[in-house]
Structure 1
Amino acid sequence: MALTGCGVAAWAVYEKLSNNIQSEDVGQALGDDRPAVPQANAAGERPLNILVIGSDSRAGTNKRLGGGREDGERSDTTILLHIAADRKSAVALSFPRDILVDIPSCKRPDGTKTWPERKQMFNRAFTYGGSACTIKTVEQLTDVRIDHHVVVDFQGFVNVVDALGGVPIYLPRAVDDKTGNIRLPAGCHLVKGKEALDYVRLRHDESIGGNGGDLGRIQRQQAFLSAMVQRVKSTGVLLNPTRLYAVLDAATKSLKTDPGLSSLGDLMALATSLRDLDTRD
């Protein structure tokens, strides 16, 4: 009876975490005119391309975190994660949000279509047609087929960082960004909550390469994501059921994904396949 009770409890936890995840199927909106599926290697394995999109929506509690008065939403951060077929290496390519690109015709949520746009800021694709339009734009730019996508908003990012107990960063110089409203002395810090969000969104403090553009910010974001993974590995999260549940609960509540990653089982299978991935670089 005890074993049966444990099994029921475990299934209840699995179902709760899976139900946290929002699923969006953009397959129809993407259409058939897409890059080819890459060839498998000798072992039958294919590389995997995941597009991670950070939304700047101010809906709900995001307004308090993001500030400003912007309506709608744009892609504040977009990272194409290319994972090798053998799952032992990965490359992250970030797209500057203000880079000028050609945006293809996209289907809006109401079913109507946009006209193709030339020389528009990259982050506008998300405004025009959500995840599908951002995927179409990236595929047009790179000729790389996107297998999965993940969308996270400000509140979701903060929730995951806080569930980890913060993320360590190192500042070679003090930061005093009046535009982003973040001030930190030089040295090591464990950033949490809004402070962590402000740090990864920082663009204007010249002391650490912020000149109003995205290149310095991109470097910090990729380093921060790597630090988050190292935090999970180094703090015993995976061996502590209580902490692991807290992190998984925060992470799953934060995600909007395609159906292929919309259950805890899908995410755990992906995580397991990446167990040999080196995140130090």
Structure 2
Amino acid sequence: MTRRRLLGLAALVAALLVAGGTVVTTRLVGHHAPTRAAAPATSSPGSPTPAPTTASPTPPPGADLTGPLNLMLVGVDTRVSIPGWEPHADAVLVLHVPAGLDRAYLFSLPRDLVVDIPAFPKARYPGGKTKLTHAMSYGSRVPGDKAHPSAAQGYELLRTTVSRYTGLRIDAGAVITFGGFDKLVDTLGGVDLYVDQKVASKHRRPDGKMRPLGGGGYTGPQMVYQKGDRHLVGWQALDYARQRYTAGGDYTRQRHQQQLLRALARKLLDQGAPRDPQRVEQVVAALGKTLVYVGGGRKLVDFGYALGGLPADRITLVGLPGTGVGSGGAYRGEQLQKPGRDFLTALRGGKADAFLAAHPSLRVKT
């Protein structure tokens, strides 16, 4: 593979903002480019030559962002057909870009990770120790309006929780619904992915329709993703990335989600989307309200410019091992094992490369 560049928010935001940031950056920088005064068509003999006029160059958007940067992508289960359903963080991924912005590390946190969720007055949440996924749902509650939870507000509490747990400041990120992810893949014409193990779907039939719920759970024939190189359409990519009732459980699902994001980024690049404003606008229009961008006061274009030199082969996928924890014999959730916690320490200290060299099993294969 040639040295291609992931522009925008790199692997985050389901790779959509990768291309989006690039195009917006190019267009805005063009609007701000310094101009020179046009030379007169003719000049009279002996007339003084006018002094050239130059405009003071305007720094491009995000020129002051030098890193480190931490960006978070959240995939949520909204179940919009159920009135008042609160969004749950079904996938939480963080992209860490060290100072210099020449490399990056993408890792996932288990949805069932037991964490301390701080009090959040906006949602009248008093705080507590529970699963990470609940930070999104508890934070989304709008007092006096149970029918319209706020995904942006839920992201705010989730961001604070993740920041406190990892010790990383979260600079920007996005929330994308299952429906939005499905639309993104179809808008791109599907995605090519290496399926690294056989996966049977709990939710879908081979024709893509939902499996019916019976007294003992889902029933009927299942969609099965066989090991090997596969081309997946929207519902297949989403379904594959959701499956956690398989060998390796939620940790396998985290790996599959990271691999899928990488494949989506490559798909965008193969299509030349970063150089095609109309193509990016088409993708954005397809997603509509299924995508919520949260920039912490920064515009997307700022991150698009700042990460403009990040090469694809310098984004490392990292799998953080964990294990289940319980109380009185009952399952409470997950906790990261020591190598996973130590990786976060190394990341904060700027020693991620050395740590991964000593713990190669944490690198996710693509």
Indicate whether the TM-score tops 0.5: yes
Q: 2:29 corresponds to which residue?
A: none
Q: 2:96 corresponds to which residue?
A: 82
- Measure the CA separation in 2 of the matches of 1:226 and 1:151: 18
Aligned counterpart for 1:195 among listed residues 204, 213, 236: 236
Matched, 1:220 2:253: no
**CA deviation map 1:7-64 (0-9, x unaligned):** xxxxxxx8xxxxxxxxxxxxxxxxxxxxxxxxxxxx972311112111111115xx7x
1:71–1:240: structure 2 CA closer, same or farther, 3 Å change rule? closer
Cα drift, residue 144 of structure 1: 1.7
**Which structure has the highest helix share of the two?**
1
For residues 175-190 of structure 1, the aligned pairs below 5 Å read: 175-178=199-202, 181-190=222-231
Contact 2:118/2:161, CA 8 A, preserved across alignment: yes
1:275–1:252: structure 2 CA closer, same or farther, 3 Å change rule? farther
1:124–1:162: structure 2 CA closer, same or farther, 3 Å change rule? same
TM-score by length of 1: 0.70
Q: 1:57 corresponds to which residue?
A: 78
Give the count of matched residue pairs: 221
Give, as a single letter, the amino acid of the residue that structure 2 aligns with 1:200: A
C-alpha RMSD of matched pairs (Å): 2.7
- Measure the CA separation in 2 of the matches of 1:249 and 1:160: 10
- Measure the CA separation in 2 of the matches of 1:99 and 1:239: 39
Q: 1:141 corresponds to which residue?
A: 165
**CA deviation map 1:89-139 (0-9, x unaligned):** 111221100111111111344xxx222212x11101111111121112112
Q: 1:123 corresponds to which residue?
A: 133
Q: 2:176 corresponds to which residue?
A: 152
Matched, 1:71 2:85: yes
Aligned counterpart for 2:267 among listed residues 210, 225, 231: 231
Cα drift, residue 260 of structure 1: 4.7
**CA deviation map 1:259-281 (0-9, x unaligned):** 5578xxx3244233323223344
Cα drift, residue 172 of structure 1: 4.0
- Measure the CA separation in 1 of the matches of 2:117 and 2:71: 20
Contact 1:169/1:188, CA 8 A, preserved across alignment: yes
Q: 2:307 corresponds to which residue?
A: 274
1:261–1:255: structure 2 CA closer, same or farther, 3 Å change rule? farther
Q: 2:338 corresponds to which residue?
A: none
Contact 2:66/2:306, CA 8 A, preserved across alignment: no
- Measure the CA separation in 1 of the matches of 2:176 and 2:297: 14
Unpaired runs of at least 5, structure 1: 1-13, 15-42, 64-68
Cα drift, residue 79 of structure 1: 1.1
| 1:228 match: secondary structure | helix
Cα drift, residue 174 of structure 1: 3.4
Give, as a single letter, the amino acid of the residue that structure 1 aligns with 2:305: T
| 1:81 match: secondary structure | strand
Q: 1:33 corresponds to which residue?
A: none
Give, as a single letter, the amino acid of the residue that structure 2 aligns with 1:82: H
| 1:168 match: secondary structure | strand
Q: 1:174 corresponds to which residue?
A: 198
Contact 2:199/2:240, CA 8 A, preserved across alignment: no
1:240–1:256: structure 2 CA closer, same or farther, 3 Å change rule? closer
Cα drift, residue 192 of structure 1: 1.5
- Measure the CA separation in 2 of the matches of 1:169 and 1:135: 30
| 2:87 match: secondary structure | coil
- Measure the CA separation in 2 of the matches of 1:230 and 1:75: 25
Contact 1:107/1:133, CA 8 A, preserved across alignment: no
1:242–1:194: structure 2 CA closer, same or farther, 3 Å change rule? same
1:160–1:80: structure 2 CA closer, same or farther, 3 Å change rule? same
TM-score by length of 2: 0.54
For residues 204-215 of structure 1, the aligned pairs below 5 Å read: 204-206=245-247, 209=248, 213-215=249-251
Q: 2:120 corresponds to which residue?
A: 106
- Measure the CA separation in 2 of the matches of 1:104 and 1:193: 36
Percent identical residues? 31
Give, as a single letter, the amino acid of the residue that structure 1 aligns with 2:77: D
| 1:102 match: secondary structure | strand
Instruction: Flag the structure with larger Rg.
Output: 2
- Measure the CA separation in 1 of the matches of 2:200 and 2:107: 28
Q: 2:12 corresponds to which residue?
A: none
For residues 8-27 of structure 1, the aligned pairs below 5 Å read: none
